[in-house]
């Protein structure tokens, strides 16, 4: 999992089947400061939360006994805490 995309797949035995690929559409970070930087940060945070919510909705449509989240450390930690 990364901030740009997530892949939901189901593993049965040795086989893994990709069910859906979810892209985020999240705005890129920027390095410029200024009066709009706070608004941009809040908008980006809301986009990340909405992306994680969409991924979780896709995950709910499959019945599995255990989920394994793989990806960037910060993204996985935030996803699990959400």
Domain boundaries, position 72: 5-81
| Number of alpha carbons in the 13 Å side-chain half-sphere of residue 64 | 17
Total tally of structural domains belonging to the chain: 1
pLDDT, tens digit (0-9, with 9 covering 90-100), for 1-33: 667 788 888 888 888 888 888 888 777 766 666
Instruction: List, for residues 41-67, the tens digit of each pLDDT value.
Output: 888 888 888 888 888 888 888 888 777
> Which residues sit opposite 10 in a β-bridge?
17
SS3 24: coil
Regarding pTM above 0.85, the answer is no
């Amino acid at each position: 999992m990364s901030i740009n995309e997530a892949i939901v797949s189901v593993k049965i035995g040795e086989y893994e089947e990709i069910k859906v690929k979810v892209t985020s559409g999240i705005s890129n970070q920027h390095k410029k400061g200024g009066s709009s930087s706070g608004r941009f940060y809040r908008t980006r945070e809301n986009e990340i939360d909405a992306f994680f919510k969409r991924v979780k909705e896709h995950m709910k449509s499959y019945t599995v006994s255990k989920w394994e989240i793989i990806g960037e450390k910060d993204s996985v930690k935030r996803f699990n805490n959400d």
